[in-house]
Amino acid sequence: MRCVRPASGVVAAIDPILRACGGMWIAHGGANADRKFVNSRSKLGVPPGDERYILKRVWLTKEEEAGYYYGFSNEGLWPLCHVTHTRPAFRESDWRMYRRANEKFADAVVEELPARAPFVFIQDYHFTLLPRLIKERRPDATVALFWHIPWPNPEVFAICPYQHEILDGMLGCDLVGFHVQYHCNNFLDTANRLIECRVDTERFSVVQAQKETFVRAFPISVDADLLGGLPPEAGSEIERIRREFALEGKIVAIGVDRIDYTKGIKERFLAIDRFLEKCPEYRGRFVFMQLGAPSRTHIKSYHDLSAEIDELVHKINWKHSEDSWSPIIYQRRHFTPEEIRPYYALADLCVVSSLHDGMNLVAKEFVAAAGDRPAALILSRFTGAARELADAVLVNPYSIEEFAGAIRAAIEMPDEEKRKRLENMRATVADNNVYRWAANIITELTALKKE
Ligand code: ADQ
């Protein structure tokens, strides 16, 4: 049995905050050994051996997990909110399970709430109904929800058959947070168009039946100090990776992603193919290392994507390979955060090519972990991170030609400019780290309450 931190931006962001502040995280226990490690009240201390906070498990049946998590959340809301031209599926049976799971979580939350002034911080699109369910039972609770993915415009959102229930559930919150102002604006427009309410554009809030919900942007981030300080053994690990994959003397680019159609992994490989066609002088000198964590594999589109990526890597490697060199090394497995850091520290180039992304923490992790070296970041314009990391080489991943040109431009950028740009981005990520993100949310809530 192993303790695994899932490959997930939400977990990467929330775990360090709970480690620092303590508290209780209430979450689905979905792994096959989770029941073995809880007490009679479904709780355990985390991380094991150095308990900093309490993890309380909510157990879902297979049917609930299929309908609530894989179905409505990830085949419905996920594609609805990401503009990647993947059609969302809305099934009444999934919606029933989504409602039931939100009710289960409401029970699990309410029974833990302290007698006075509790604060509940809800994460993501899996819990749109939960804020209202909690408020009905505990009107004195302060409830905030952070939406980790984009919020679409009203026309897009209006195709969801359960739009009113979702908006009504979310407006049980005192505060709803998004990564960027644009998604806040979309949310306000959506409420304005689709439900009976008053939108206050001065206070940036939605008022419904005397209840006011504030909407604010809080760009999420990483623990820059932790990522920046490589442990002493990292040097030998970097050497081991270089030896194992014959990277010595090569220009090394990396990609680190959950295998998800929003991350633009196929577009990235097509751009590498085009780059090697246009710039044959880089054959034998350029290696792209992709770390890909299998994700949501029970969903057909994810299963198909994984097979398509395997095939594409095979095709591109076969087309360009010479002697023992192949351009793409693909490691399809889950890595621990400690295993990923040496890759960030050795790469000359990191490529983040999401077709759409709320923020993208890989871009920020790379910037924080790359060190004081001449390294570059290629970053999709369609990530929230692109708004803060203006010193990255920004690309439209749909334009394979532009993307291939950006790979060349990033490689050939003078070292001094690479260093300067990385330094600017490192300062941004160090200033706006994940603790500031959490502190800003709490400060805003406290100020709103006082008002
Ligand atoms: P995600 O879509 O999960 O998050 P992202 O922000 O890119 O995406 O974070 C992915 C995390 O998984 C990173 O911490 C990364 O290190 C890790 N990871 C990637 N590949 C891995 C692998 N092979 N093995 C192990 N770990 C791996 C959602 C939104 C994002 C938003 C975050 C946080 O979709 O837009 O940035 O929430 O709000």
Number of the ligand 1 atom closest to the C-alpha atom of 340: 16
- In this model, does residue 29 exceed pLDDT 90? yes
How confident is the model over 429-451, as a mean pLDDT? 90
71 C-alpha to center of ligand 1: Å? Answer: 20
Q: Is 202 left (phi over 0), alpha (psi -120 to 50) or beta?
A: alpha
Ligand 1 pocket test: pick from 145, 147, 306, 359 the residue with the most ligand atoms within 8 Å of its Cβ.
359
225-259 burial, b at 16+ Cβ within 10 Å, e below that, comes to eebbebeeebeebbeebbeeeebeebbbbbbbbbb
From residue 229, give the alpha-carbon distance in Å to each of 61, 67, 197, 428: 42, 42, 49, 17
Instruction: Supply the pLDDT for residue 152.
Output: 98
Instruction: Supply the pLDDT for residue 232.
Output: 77
How confident is the model over 176-199, as a mean pLDDT? 98
Position 231 confidence tier, pLDDT thresholds 50, 70, 90? confident
361 C-alpha to center of ligand 1: Å? Answer: 6
Sheet strands (E) in 235-381: 251-258, 286-293, 328-332, 349-352, 376-380
Structural contact between residues 378 and 406, judged by C-beta atoms closer than 8 angstroms: yes
Instruction: Supply the pLDDT for residue 447.
Output: 86
pTM beyond cutoff 0.85: yes
How confident is the model over 309-327, as a mean pLDDT? 97
Ligand 1 pocket test: pick from 257, 309, 437 the residue with the most ligand atoms within 8 Å of its Cβ.
257
Structural contact between residues 403 and 396, judged by C-beta atoms closer than 8 angstroms: yes
Structural contact between residues 423 and 415, judged by C-beta atoms closer than 8 angstroms: no
From residue 53, give the alpha-carbon distance in Å to each of 14, 41, 311: 12, 15, 43
- In this model, does residue 451 exceed pLDDT 80? no
Instruction: Supply the pLDDT for residue 449.
Output: 74
Q: How many CB atoms neighbour CB 36 within 10 A?
A: 9
The residue whose CA has the least distance to atom 26 of ligand 1 is 7
Instruction: Supply the pLDDT for residue 229.
Output: 83
pLDDT tens digits, residue range 319-343?
A: 999 999 999 999 999 999 999 999 9
- In this model, does residue 235 exceed pLDDT 90? no
Mean pLDDT of the chain: 96
The residue whose CA has the least distance to atom 20 of ligand 1 is 257
Closest CA to 422 of 380, 430, 241: 430
Which residues partner with 6 through β-bridges? none
pLDDT tens digits, residue range 244-295?
A: 999 999 999 999 999 999 999 999 999 999 999 999 999 999 999 999 999 9
Q: How many CB atoms neighbour CB 33 within 10 A?
A: 11
User: What residue ranges define each of the domains in the chain, with the CATH number in brackets?
Assistant: 60-221+435-450 (3.40.50.2000), 230-431 (3.40.50.2000)
CA 312 to chain centre: 24
Position 425 confidence tier, pLDDT thresholds 50, 70, 90? very high
Instruction: Supply the pLDDT for residue 117.
Output: 87
How confident is the model over 116-135, as a mean pLDDT? 96
Around ligand 1, the residues with Cβ closer than 6 Å are: 7-10, 12-13, 148-149, 220, 256-258, 291-293, 334-335, 340, 357-362, 365
- In this model, does residue 384 exceed pLDDT 90? yes
DSSP SS3 for 295: coil
Q: Is 296 left (phi over 0), alpha (psi -120 to 50) or beta?
A: left
Instruction: Supply the pLDDT for residue 448.
Output: 79
The residue whose CA has the least distance to atom 37 of ligand 1 is 9
Percent of the chain with pLDDT over 90: 93
- In this model, does residue 309 exceed pLDDT 90? yes
- In this model, does residue 99 exceed pLDDT 80? yes
- In this model, does residue 134 exceed pLDDT 90? yes
Closest CA to 361 of 433, 283, 270, 311: 433
The residue whose CA has the least distance to atom 16 of ligand 1 is 362
Structural contact between residues 360 and 392, judged by C-beta atoms closer than 8 angstroms: no
Q: Walk across the sheet containing 211-217 and list its strands.
A: 119-123, 142-146, 175-178, 211-217, 205-208, 198-200
**Residue 42 amino acid letter:** S
Ligand 1 pocket test: pick from 352, 361, 433 the residue with the most ligand atoms within 8 Å of its Cβ.
361
